[in-house]
A and B are shown apart, each in its own frame.
Chain A
Amino acid sequence: MSDTAAQPRSDADESDDGATEEPTDPDDGPAAGAVSTGAESVVAALEAAGAKTAFGVQGGAIMPVYDALYDSSIRHVTMAHEQGAAHAADAYGVVAGEPGLCMATSGPGATNLVTGIADADMDSDAMVALTGQVPTEFVGNDAFQETDTVGVTRPITKHNYFAGGADTVGDTVGEAFELSRAGRPGPTLVDLPKDVTQDETDRTPGPATPPAGTDPDPNADADAVEEAARAIEAAERPVCLFGGGVIKADASDEARTFARSYGIPVTTTMPGIGSFPEDDDLCLSWAGMHGTGYANLAITHTDCLIAVGTRFDDRLTGGIDTFAPEAEVIHVDIDPAEISKNVHADYPLIGDAGRVLDQLTAAVREAPDAAAWRDRCEEWKETYPLTYATPDDEPLKPQFVVEAFDEATDDDTIVTTGVGQHQMWASQFWTYTEPRTWVSSHGLGTMGYGVPAAVGARVAADTMGEEDRDVVCFDGDGSFLMTMQELSVAVREELDVTIAVLNNEYIGMVRQWQDAFYEGRHMASDYTWMPEFDKLAEAFGALGLRVDDYDEVAPAVEEALDYEGPAVIDFHVDPEENVLPMVPSGGANGKFAAAEDQL
């Protein structure tokens, strides 16, 4: 396996007719050198691309590829369900900074991947999906386990491919890998008809490059940078808004340097959590529907919003008409289609987040005069802190559990979540300081993401030699029930993960909305029929604990973290607890409700 292939590619002038070239240096090519089938060519391409781990489930149409994996250095983690494979691959990619790889057979295998692919697509996560397909001659005939996978996944992939033949399939897979990480990352898929992977070929795939036009110039236009720099210098109330793109571009250092050099307060989006340390004085934490009041106030009152790597999702902006209404917007993004898609950019800077932040840092000559503005942000921080009530007689508060884990673990701990209230508490009450430690489903909001993501994150950390890092999954009872079968994988693979189920016997986020907007009519949100998760964990072979009270929290957290292997703690928390603050859907960010009665 080539080391250089795993590096972020920069030289676009590599030969792209490499299909015909045999690697000259044995180290450049797959270990075995020669291939004899399409499937071996697929695996050779994966190895050349630097893939170390695949997550998947076997099946008829994909069997030739699995057979070729038998002799490969790539570790395969068999998952319980293909959705789990896709989420695990996604999370692996987020933690490792490399495209995650998932595999499934045709038909139901491929359709089970769909949620995970859509999730990766919404969050711009680099990921490669390989799906088996019925033999080419049966395609279109409604053959056994046939689905038009390319058709089904067309709108949720960056690009997808139908492999045409054994001679070219390796190059296609190599290209899919490179495309998934080029420019704005995203999932790609290669559909592999069984004959294509079974057929003989001696064509070793050549060095892969992303397709023409998909790997844009990382530097923004110099004149545009100058103009933006003048706008920043002139600002009185500047705010940085760092999105997930900062993390994907590995630009956290540049982001920190830029904001600190000029004393500009920083908010992040939810996917941008970890791009800027939340314990820094300049940090206002994350903005949006359940973001902090001070982040939302800063965005509402800023006159210069320096937005980097964000797509201005509606959960962030609230009503567009009231979003940063007085701000000149400087928008840095690698994807030109994001510019002025949702919020008009006065200063569009198209390029790689890290490079453009460096350009900006160099171009701003004088820090904006923002001392008064920083004081105002500080006042907001004091007036609207994240907090919750903890009188003695109340049931255990979920926020307390999150804080207990944060205190008991190191800064490099990886947190994964399902979707719902617990996800919000896990992002609000944990102090994130490092990129790639917050792994969650943002754009798609997929319940059930947490457990398979913990599996993927753990495998990634172990692969990188970071066995000492903790992986903690905060899950809801509803979310856990959707994908908890992946706990069996964690047990089999002896993965050291801790799953904290914040069990409120509701699908709590729905219950909260019902209370706020549907007169408390709890239609289908009452989950009092949940099994006992600690016993279920034991049945899977994991450590199972149950916690009902404050004084049991710390010992249980300690026991679970100390346990070498998967542990599940079923925390029975206050079922009525709500996530605050909250900007009602489509509302103005500055008008967040800080308390229940303000909703």
Chain B
Amino acid sequence: MSGDSPSAGAPEADSRPLPDEQPGPDERDHPEGRRNLEGIRIDPVVEAEHESRRAVISALVEDEPGVLARVSGLVSRRQFNIESLTVGPTTVDGHSRITMVVEETDPGIDQIEKQMAKLKPVISVGEVAGDAVTSELVLLKVEADDPAAVHAVSEMYDGRTVDAGPDTITVELTGDKASIDSAISAFDRFGIVEIARTGPTALARGDTPTAPGEKPGTAGEPTTHDD
């Protein structure tokens, strides 16, 4: 733009093509390639599509106020599909473990881990290997019309009667998701009054650390990453 003679009124005409003299969107050549919605280049032969899968993510966190709100807020804000979230203390004072089950694509799972790792109170986070030991707990309140039968089913599933009254019996069961699901359907015939169920919590098998880099720790010792 010249703009050097404002006193002459409007600036002099410019030699550059005006927008409406420039080739329009369809007059330009366009590349063949494409990306999918996850920003991955699509292989023309195999379309790079990702299936969701269930993943157990374990995070070791500083047990400071608001840590659960931070983690759950992050997960909800970023629209990740969270199935369950459990939290509890570890062997180290001031450290807690958060176990989260999500249903996501691989890039989604990767993002959850990376976003969680950014939170200041998160010490370490990672997916727990597929063969991890997972367990959840359920409290089941059923009608007490046939206490002996309730007791028998409960024994079958290694359950424990924690409360028995004239009208209802409450049983406690732990196990992996599949065995709890089948226990619940077995109890169904007594008439289930109420259920309270936690999500799974998990530990990696053998010597594998549950959260990456996690070392066995006891009260007062760091479990990982403080160098």
Contact = CB atoms under 8 A, between A and B. Distances in A.
Interface stretch (A65-73, A432-440, A546-554): A546-554
Contacts of A286: none
Contacts of A325: 31-35, 41
B206 interface: no
A468 to B, nearest CB: 24
B88 interface: no
A153 to B, nearest CB: 11
Contacts of A162: 65-66
A293 interface: yes
B225 interface: yes
A580 B11 CA distance: 20
Given A326-B31, A340-B107, A150 B66 contact: yes
B14 interface: yes
B11 A390 contact: yes
Contacts of B119: 159
B1 A399 contact: yes
B30 A340 contact: no
Contacts of A150: 66
A588 interface: yes
B66 A404 contact: no
Contacts of A322: 34-35
B36 A588 contact: no
Contact of B18 (A297, A389, A593): A389
A277 interface: no
A386 B39 CA distance: 29
Interface stretch (B2-10, B128-136, B157-165): B2-10
B112 to A, nearest CB: 10
A137 B10 CA distance: 67
B20 A342 contact: no
Interface in A134-170: 150-151, 154-155, 158-159, 162
A550 B14 contact: no
B9 A297 contact: no
> Which of B14, B34, B110, B227 gathers most chain A CB within 10 Å?
B34
Interface residues of A, number: 68
Contact of B28 (A212, A297, A344): A297
Contact of A596 (B20, B32, B225): B20
A551 B7 contact: yes
Contacts of A591: 25-26, 28, 30
B111 to A, nearest CB: 6
B117 interface: yes
Contacts of A214: 120
Contact of B16 (A326, A327, A385, A394): A385
A337 B111 contact: yes
Contacts of B188: none
Interface in A409-437: 429
A343 B10 contact: no
B166 interface: no
A598 B35 contact: no
A179 B119 CA distance: 12
Given A212-B225, A323-B39, 12 more contacts: A212-B227, A213-B225, A300-B31, A312-B39, A322-B34, A342-B39, A383-B17, A387-B14, A392-B9, A399-B1, A552-B6, A593-B24
The 7 closest A-B pairs by CB, nearest first: A325-B33, A337-B114, A343-B39, A595-B20, A595-B19, A591-B25, A326-B33
5 contacts: A212-B225, A301-B31, A320-B39, A321-B37, A550-B10
Interface of A: 150-151, 154-155, 158-159, 162, 179, 211-214, 293, 297, 300-301, 312, 320-327, 335-337, 339-344, 383-385, 387-392, 394, 399-400, 403-404, 407, 429, 549-554, 580-581, 588, 590-598
